[in-house]
Every structure is written in structure tokens, then in C-alpha cells.
């Protein structure tokens, strides 16, 4: 969200970036309402000033025991009061409209972001060649009994996975491995609430735009978080941070809930796109002057997960039309699923600059001046597609899965998942 003054001075920029992000923002309407508001406010202020003067005179008269002389003044003030409240009604209406208008303006992309072309920044690892026909993750999950999709459907519905046996253990191992790694990188762990209030959803930019994609508990007016970004960032809403602590780094794990309304087809098969999934999320509060350097560091910190797991991945720079509402610049990390033969997105690392911070009123003091912090977020990483690519990349000719060494301590020393060991819980 932007300040009024910024909007007044940057019409073209806002209009163009909104169009590129697929939003229609009526900038002309803003100008019209803004001018009207300023005019009305000026008129109301004049009335209020007059009322104040009268009020002071009344007080004086009453103090000096001449209360009866105040009658005319009081009558006059009552009349002013009427026109004042009329103007206030008009102003409130306009402000509501303006606020709605502003809350639908997406963040402006950084100058380094391409308009429509996806740019591959780097590739890591080798293209994997198997001397046998590799199984897809769906086949492996079934043959090794790691995820029970069918039974879970009876409990809740489709696309809510139920991990089972060593599948559950592997999922848990991944989460813990990632958390421990990021803690080593200097992040403070947060285990936040899964439910968040509407205000918080607005601050981080999920509302108003993505309301349809969110689970909502009407009885208590709460949303299920779609990412730990929401509860973690909102911990600090309306706070003034200390610049001495920058960069402030938090890592949070939560289950994430998304309705994925309108999704269908191949992309929803297996673990590809789920209503509930696990994600470890990195959040940084930084000084505006260094937020783009911090974004590069954040990306490297997320990549470290995949490097240590020995996975083949690539990093792409998202063009404006693929970027989220709140982001100014986003890198995606994609993993290679060799059997399914597709790149799967497991992480988005974004610099949202002051967009969320202005909404959430998260500020810091810089040489006596209050400023808006810049907020970055990055998945480090989401588990389902990591799970898919890991089991596809590490599968053996006889249908087992080798556990990467860094995960073994989290798996009770298990080094391979195979058909004999599939339900083992040593």
C-alpha cells in the first residue's frame, strides 16, 4: 500500500505496474476523489475552527456568571454542528472509496524485473540419467506406502495428504532439517498460530485480493494461514523496530492452507498442489538501503537447503506478470523431477519493500526519523514438491529411496526406504 502523496506523484508508475500484474486500478478516480476530499476537509476544518472559538467564548461567559448571554452562541454552534456532520458523512464515504481503491493497488516492481520474460538465473546439479525407467513420485508413494491419499479423502476431501510410516517420518525429517539449518544461519525460530485475523491477512496483502483462495472460519472471524509469512510478520504490526538489530531474521514452520479455487487437472495430481501443506518460511526485516542485497542473501540461504540435500535445481527471476500482489522482486527456486520430467516450484524469495510494512505499520527509527522497514520473505522451503523431487531423484533400480546423508540423523539413522522397510518405525 502506498501513501497518498506517493500516489499523487507516481500515477503512471502505479497504473502501468497494476496493468502488468493484471489489476485494473482507476487512477483517474483516485485523483477525482482525492481533490474532492481535500476540498471537503478544508471546508469542514473551517467550520470546526469556528465552533472551537464559540465554545471558548461560551466557557468564558459561563465562568464569569453570564451564562444567559451564551444562548445565541449556543444556537449558532448547533447550526454549525449540523453542517459539520453533513460534511463528515460525505468525507467518510469518499475516504472509504479511496481506501478501497488504494488497497487494490499492487506493489510496484523493481526496475531490474523483466516485464514478461522468465529469466533463468542459475542452474545447479546434473541432469539426472537413470539406467532404468524411473518411477514417478505418485508411483513411489503408493508402492512404498508413504502417502495415503485415498483414506484421507474419506476424512476431509481431495488434496489433503496423509503421510504414513516412513513417508511421515521423511516429511518430519525435512521440516526439522530445514529449521535447524536456518537457525544455524542466524534465524530465530517462531512456531506461530495457524489461525490469523482478517486485519493480519490484509497487512501482508492476502486480502482483499486473494480472499477466495483462503479458508475462513466464519464463527470466529478467523482465517487459516496460507503461509507462515502472515502470522510471523504480523507479530510485529504497529511496532517500532530498532535499526541496530537489522537484519532481523525469523524462521517459522506452519502447515499452510489454500483453497486453490479453480485449480484442476494434471497439476493437482499427487503432492503437486494441496489444500494443506508444510512449509518452512524465512522472514527478514531490513533497512531499506540494503533490502536488495538482503534478497540475494535470502536466496542463497534457501538454496542451501537444496545444495545440502544434493538436489538438482534452478533459480528463475519472475517477470512482473508472474509476481505476487505485494512483491517488488521475486526469485523462484524450482526442483527437477526426473521421472515426471518437470520443474517444480519449491520456493519464492521476495522483496516486498515497504508494501506490507506500511499496511501493518511496522516502522523503525533512523536518526530520529520514523521510517518504514523493508520486509523480505522466502520459502526455505515448501515440503510437498521437495518430497516429490527428492524421492524421484534418489530412487534406486529396485524401487527404494536412498536417504540423503544430512537427513539420516533426522530419520533415526535410516539410510534407505524400501519395500521391506516401508512401515518401519525404528
Residue ranges that bind RNA, judged by CB under 7 A: 3-5, 38, 41-42, 44-46, 48-49, 51-52, 54-56, 58-59, 62, 74, 77-78, 81, 92, 240, 365, 367-368, 370
CB of 56 to RNA, least distance (A): 6
Q: Ramachandran region of residue 171, left (φ > 0), alpha (ψ -120 to 50) or beta?
A: alpha
CB of 84 to RNA, least distance (A): 8
CB of 240 to RNA, least distance (A): 4
Q: Work out the end-to-end distance of the chain between its first and last CA atoms, rounded to an integer number of angstroms.
A: 51
CB of 53 to RNA, least distance (A): 7
CB of 61 to RNA, least distance (A): 9
- What are the start-end ranges of the H helices in 196-350? 198-203, 229-234, 291-308
Three-state DSSP class for residue 254 = strand
Q: Ramachandran region of residue 327, left (φ > 0), alpha (ψ -120 to 50) or beta?
A: beta
Give the number of other Cβ atoms within 10 Å of residue 85's Cβ: 11
User: The sheet that has 329-337: what strands, in order across it?
Assistant: 119-124, 313-317, 329-337, 342-351, 374-382, 276-286, 248-257, 188-190
Please identify, using beta-carbon distances, which residue of 52 and 69 lies nearer to RNA.
52
Please identify, using beta-carbon distances, which residue of 221 and 426 lies nearer to RNA.
221
CB of 7 to RNA, least distance (A): 11
Please identify, using beta-carbon distances, which residue of 30 and 313 lies nearer to RNA.
30
Please identify, using beta-carbon distances, which residue of 59 and 397 lies nearer to RNA.
59
Closest listed residue to residue 394, CA positions, set 416, 371, 425: 416
SS3 content of the chain, % helix, strand, coil (to 5): 45, 20, 35
Could you give the C-alpha distances from 69 to 52, 299, 368, in angstroms and in order? 17, 74, 50
CB of 185 to RNA, least distance (A): 29
Please identify, using beta-carbon distances, which residue of 74 and 183 lies nearer to RNA.
74
Query: What is the phi/psi pair of residue 336, to 5°?
Result: -90, 125
CB of 112 to RNA, least distance (A): 29
Please identify, using beta-carbon distances, which residue of 80 and 416 lies nearer to RNA.
80
Closest listed residue to residue 394, CA positions, set 383, 405, 409, 384: 405
Please identify, using beta-carbon distances, which residue of 29 and 365 lies nearer to RNA.
365
Please identify, using beta-carbon distances, which residue of 51 and 185 lies nearer to RNA.
51
Amino acid at each position: 500500500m502506498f501513501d497518498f502523496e506517493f500516489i499523487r506523484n507516481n500515477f503512471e508508475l502505479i497504473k502501468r505496474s497494476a496493468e502488468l500484474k493484471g489489476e485494473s486500478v482507476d487512477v483517474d478516480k483516485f485523483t477525482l476523489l482525492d481533490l474532492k476530499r481535500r476540498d471537503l476537509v478544508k471546508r469542514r476544518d473551517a467550520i470546526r475552527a469556528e465552533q472551537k472559538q464559540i465554545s471558548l467564548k461560551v466557557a468564558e461567559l459561563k465562568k464569569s456568571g453570564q451564562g444567559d448571554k451564551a444562548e445565541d452562541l449556543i444556537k449558532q454552534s448547533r447550526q454549525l454542528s449540523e453542517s459539520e456532520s453533513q460534511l463528515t458523512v460525505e468525507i467518510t464515504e469518499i475516504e472509504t472509496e479511496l481506501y478501497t481503491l488504494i488497497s487494490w493497488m499492487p506493489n510496484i516492481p523493481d526496475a531490474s524485473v523483466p516485464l514478461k520474460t522468465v529469466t533463468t538465473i542459475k542452474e545447479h546439479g546434473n541432469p539426472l540419467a537413470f539406467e532404468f525407467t524411473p518411477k514417478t513420485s505418485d508411483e513411489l508413494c503408493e508402492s512404498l506406502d508413504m502417502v495415503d491419499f485415498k483414506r484421507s479423502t474419506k476424512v476431509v476431501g481431495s488434496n489433503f495428504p496423509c503421510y504414513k510410516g516412513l513417508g511421515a517420518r521423511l516429511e518430519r525429517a525435512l521440516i526439522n532439517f530445514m529449521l535447524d539449518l536456518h537457525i544455524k544461519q542466524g534465524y530465530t525460530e517462531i512456531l506461530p498460530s495457524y489461525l490469523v485475523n482478517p486485519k493480519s491477512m490484509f497487512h501482508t496483502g492476502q486480502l482483499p485480493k486473494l480472499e477466495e483462495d483462503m479458508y475462513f472460519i466464519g464463527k470466529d472471524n478467523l482465517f487459516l494461514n496460507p503461509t507462515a509469512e502472515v502470522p510471523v510478520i504480523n507479530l510485529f504490526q504497529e511496532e517500532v523496530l530498532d535499526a541496530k538489530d537489522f537484519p532481523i531474521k525469523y524462521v517459522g514452520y506452519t502447515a499452510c492452507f489454500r483453497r486453490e479455487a479453480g485449480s484442476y487437472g494434471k497439476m493437482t495430481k499427487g503432492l503437486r498442489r494441496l489444500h494443506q501443506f508444510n512449509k518452512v518460511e524465512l522472514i527478514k526485516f531490513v533497512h531499506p538501503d540494503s533490502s536488495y542485497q538482503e534478497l540475494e542473501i535470502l536466496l542463497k540461504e534457501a538454496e542451501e537447503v537444496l545444495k545440502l540435500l544434493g538436489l538438482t535445481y534452478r533459480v528463475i527471476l519472475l517477470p512482473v506478470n508472474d509476481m505476487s500482489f505485494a512483491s517488488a522482486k521475486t526469485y523462484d527456486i524450482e526442483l527437477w523431477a526426473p521421472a515426471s520430467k518437470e520443474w517444480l516450484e519449491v520456493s519464492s524469495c521476495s522483496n516486498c519493500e515497504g508494501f506490507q510494512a506500511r499496511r501493518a505499520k511496522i516502522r523503525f527509527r533512523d536518526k530520529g526519523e520514523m521510517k518504514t522497514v523493508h520486509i523480505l520473505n522466502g520459502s526455505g522451503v515448501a515440503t510437498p514438491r521437495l518430497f516429490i523431487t527428492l524421492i524421484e531423484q534418489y530412487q534406486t533400480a529396485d524401487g527404494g529411496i536412498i536417504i540423503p546423508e544430512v537427513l539420516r540423523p533426522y530419520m533415526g539413522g535410516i539410510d534407505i526406504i524400501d519395500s521391506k522397510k516401508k512401515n518401519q518405525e525404528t
